[in-house]
Amino acid sequence: MRAISAGKPASFVAPLDVPHDFAYVPDIHRAVMSILDAPDDSFGPAWHVPCAPTETVRAITMRAARAFGKPLKTTFVPLWSLPLLGVFVPFLLEMAEMRFQWDRPRVDASRFANRFWWDATSFDDGIRATVEAHLESATMTVD
């Protein structure tokens, strides 16, 4: 968001045009609280947090660029290059191990939805809140 708001290229370690599921941080918080408040039989299995409908990274960042009134500029590191670049940048080596998340980009949260809730925050609402928070923090002064 910082790069987009400044009109600079947003950098990604992921393909921009592959559909992917993203969970909004307040929804993750809500999911954790739902599980912590649940009966004991809820503990143990893996729970996938409900997400807004699947979109590409490019589509989501286009929404953010429009919200900031800026043109979208992007750069990305191709997944195939991560093992090589990871020799010099350890974070990228860790990302190489997580490439599978981009081969199977959809999350099945139906079990969570059947047990708890399904009304994940939409991208429009999440981006609006994120842009507002970013703009608010950018205008704050340190006393």
CATH of the domain at 48: 3.40.50.720
pLDDT of residue 76: 86
* The pLDDT of residue 116: 95
Low-confidence stretches of the chain (pLDDT beneath 70): 103-105, 140-143
What is the 3-state composition of the chain as percent helix, strand, coil, each rounded to the nearest 5?
A: 50, 5, 40
Is residue 138 in a domain?
no
Give the pLDDT of residue 41: 87
List the domain range (segments joined by +) for residue 124: 2-132
pLDDT at 141: 54
Whether 140 maps to a domain, the answer reads no
**Structural domain includes residue 137:** no
> Quick one: which H or E segment has residue 43?
none
How many domains are there within the chain? 1
69 within some domain: yes
Q: Is the dihedral of CA 64, 126, 132, 30 positive or negative?
A: negative
What pTM was computed for the model? 0.79
Which pLDDT score is estimated for 103? 66
- Specify the pLDDT at position 142: 53
